[in-house]
Amino acid sequence: MGITLRHFVDTFVVGYKDQPAAAGDLPAPTAVRAGMPITTGGMQTVQYPDEKIPVPERFRYLPFLLYEEEPDGDREAFDGIRCTACGICAKVCPPQCIWIVQGKGDDGRPRPVSTEFYIDASICMSCGFCAEYCPFDAIKMDHEYELSSYERHESWVYDLQELLHPVAYHAAIHPTDYAREIAEAKVKAEAERKKAAAQAERAKAAAEGGQDLDELKRQKLEARQKFMDERNRKKAEAEAKAKAEDSGDAASSDD
């Protein structure tokens, strides 16, 4: 009773306070009629499908795959498609509704890209595990939920072409997640820059007469071989000596 009363009061107090002056006050593509509250305070009837409430960033429906519109780095060779066909999403998917075919090069060896990717949306339970576990930020959960269809089979199996979305779309619907990706990419780029600088420093030191790692390795192997040869020689000498002593003892006992 208390909750019902609170909702009833909120409907007038919160809802009235937050209502926009005109439909144009709301961010596109939100199609909410002027006069309709934009917060979830209180209760109001939404005239769906004429009116739609914006979904929160964490809302998830079906997964989609990402491609870079202007790829650089190692994904350039794969048309910017982020998916490396590692198969982790297919393994963690509880209803097993993901099928992946990994690409192969001319030499028949596997390549880090999927040539076919299917998701059976009629089985997908929107758990988000695939997006959660993907190590390459290649699959995300979409906000699109108007997917009704008269057909119950083929049209619900989405292929690579239907699943691919540009990164800009992901950035628009998942701004927080996208900001995290950018921050992580910066940290990774900085770590790679430091690694390259350290390698260049070592090469420079080697060129200027410092210790060369390959040379150190060669010296280590040479020293170990020398040590083992010496050890085997001593062992053989000790065995020969013991044998000679045994034969001497046997000769004196015969006398």
Give the binding site for ligand SF4 (CB under 6 A).
Answer: 63, 83-89, 93-95, 97-98, 100, 119, 124-130, 134, 136, 138-139
Question: Which residues fall within 8 angstroms of residue 51, CB to CB, at 6 or more apart?
Answer: 31, 32, 33, 36
Check: CB of residue 167 under 8 Å from CB of residue 67: yes
- Residue 65 neighbours by CB under 8 Å, 6+ apart: 81, 82, 83, 117, 138, 139, 160, 163, 164, 165
Q: Which is nearer to ligand SF4, 55 or 203 (CB)?
A: 55
Q: Are 83 and 160 in contact (CB under 8 A)?
A: no
Query: Nearer to ligand SF4 by C-beta: 86 or 157?
Result: 86
Our CB check for ligand SF4 shows the closer of 149 and 219 to be: 149
- Would you call the peptide bond into 166 cis, given omega within 30 degrees of 0 as the criterion? no
Q: How far is the CB of 127 from ligand SF4 (least distance, A)?
A: 4
Q: How far is the CB of 60 from ligand SF4 (least distance, A)?
A: 7
- Shortest distance in whole angstroms from residue 205 CB to ligand SF4: 39
- Nearer residue to ligand SF4 within complex by CB, 20 or 166: 166
User: Taking the complex as a whole, how short is the minimal distance between the CB of residue 1 and ligand SF4, in angstroms?
Assistant: 39
By beta-carbon proximity to ligand SF4, the closer residue of 23 and 123 is: 123
Q: Which is nearer to ligand SF4, 36 or 119 (CB)?
A: 119
Minimal distance in Å, beta carbon 118 to ligand SF4?
10
Tell me the closest approach of the beta carbon of residue 59 to ligand SF4, in angstroms.
13
Number of helices and strands in the chain (H, E): 7, 6
Structure tokens at 113: 């890209």
66 contacts 165 by C-beta, under 8 angstroms: yes
SS (H, E, C) 107-154: CCCEEEEEEEEEEECCCCCCCCHHHHHCCCCCEEECCCCCCCCCCCCH
